[in-house]
Amino acid sequence: MKTRLVWGLGAAALVSIGITGTASAADMAVKALPMAAPAVVYNWTGGYVGLNLGGTWNDSRADVFPTGCFLTSVTCGGGPAANPIRSDSNRLNQAAFTGGVQAGYNWQRERWVFGVEGDINYNGVNDGVAVARPLVAPLAGTMLHAETDKLQWFGTVRGRVGIAAAPNFLIYGTGGLAFGQVKSASAVAFTTTPDTYAGSLDQTRFGWTVGGGGEWMFAQNWSVKAEYLYVDLGKASYTDACVNVAVCGSPPQVAPGGSYQTDLRVREHVARVGVNYHFATPVVAKY
């Protein structure tokens, strides 16, 4: 009887140990399973600020032509027939550095992203020409024309429309208002007559811009972009007046009442890269 009781208790103990061991092994197996990685969702909605740098390529045109009595009086330059042969035209195409700051806000609707952005930038364009144009009969000698043009800074206020080609990569088009500080100085002289003409301009110009680019969200709150803009600040005009009054003040001087006009059509291409910090958390982790 005692022998049976001992064997029964032993069997029960072994069964209990087995059950406990199985349960413990099961618990260990569950704890060893790796947790699933969170699903990451990118959202472009929110405000941002950033820096940019790149290059600008001047695409301006400078024209200088006679005005005043040069257009009407033979006594001061030949009348209307002489107008085209006393004119000069040049293209300005200097490349320079640009850099600045930008700020904006985006709204995302499914894959579409809409936004506004403004920027202000330094511009290193300091272009100029100095040419000698032989005059055509009935005029004799050479026309000397020198001009310098600067676009010291520029800014834009633009709308942006883009599509998320990938969750963290945006392709967009942009366009809107452009403005900038334009400085220009021009001078005209001749080898056969003593009359000299000069004028200058220092003006904040307004125009338009259009372009496009791509932006990549490479980390939480951070993105980089590459962008192209075409900037057109319109036509700025100013008068080159006679600087030696004794020569062209009144008859019988060489050019009484004569003057020149300089027209500067301000345009440039901008290619730049930038980095933006997004205030709203654009990368949301869902578990």
Cα–Cα separations (whole angstroms), residue 257 to 207, 211, 217: 33, 45, 63
pLDDT recorded at residue 61:
93
39 lies in some domain: no
Say which residue the tokens 């403004």 belong to. 118
251 lies in some domain: yes
Alpha helices in 94-250 (DSSP H): 245-248
pLDDT tens-digit map of 86-108: 788 889 999 999 999 999 999 99
pLDDT, the chain, mean: 83
Task: Tell me the Cα Rg of the chain.
Answer: 37
Helix, strand, coil share of the chain (percent; to 5): 15, 65, 20
How does pLDDT run along the chain (287 residues), one tens digit per residue? 444 444 444 444 434 444 444 444 444 444 555 555 555 667 899 999 999 999 999 999 999 988 877 776 665 655 555 556 678 888 999 999 999 999 999 999 999 999 999 999 999 999 998 989 887 777 778 889 999 999 999 999 999 999 999 989 999 999 999 999 999 999 999 888 888 999 999 999 999 999 999 999 998 899 999 999 999 999 999 999 888 877 776 666 666 777 889 999 999 999 999 999 999 765 544 44
pLDDT recorded at residue 271:
98
The partner residues of 260 in beta bridges, in order of sequence, read 66, 240
**Are 208 and 69 found together in one domain?**
yes
78 lies in some domain: yes
279 lies in some domain: yes
pLDDT recorded at residue 5:
41
pLDDT recorded at residue 248:
76
Say which residue the tokens 């003409």 belong to. 197
C-alpha distance across the termini of the chain, in Å: 61
**Are 20 and 117 found together in one domain?**
no
Task: Indicate which CATH number applies to the domain containing 103.
Answer: 2.40.160.20
**Are 132 and 241 found together in one domain?**
yes
Q: What's the angle, vertex CA 88, arms to CA 85 and CA 92, rounded to 5?
A: 160
pLDDT recorded at residue 19:
45
Tell me if the pTM is above 0.85. Answer: no
204 lies in some domain: yes
Residue type, 144: L
**Are 174 and 192 found together in one domain?**
yes
**Are 169 and 239 found together in one domain?**
yes
Half-sphere exposure of 109 (CA within 13 A, CB side): 3
pLDDT recorded at residue 262:
94
**Are 147 and 213 found together in one domain?**
yes
Residue type, 224: V
Residue 5 three-state SS: helix
| Residue 32 exposed, middle or buried by CB count within 10 Å (0-12, 13-18, 19+) | exposed
**Are 25 and 128 found together in one domain?**
no
Residue 256 three-state SS: coil
**Are 170 and 28 found together in one domain?**
no
**Are 87 and 18 found together in one domain?**
no
**Are 61 and 189 found together in one domain?**
yes
pLDDT tens-digit map of 41-86: 678 999 999 999 999 999 999 999 888 777 766 656 555 555 566 7
- Domain range for 30: 1-34
Residues for the chain: how many in total? 287
The span from the CA of 161 to the CA of 149, in Å, is 34
DSSP 194: -
**Are 95 and 201 found together in one domain?**
yes
Domain count for the chain: 2
152 lies in some domain: yes
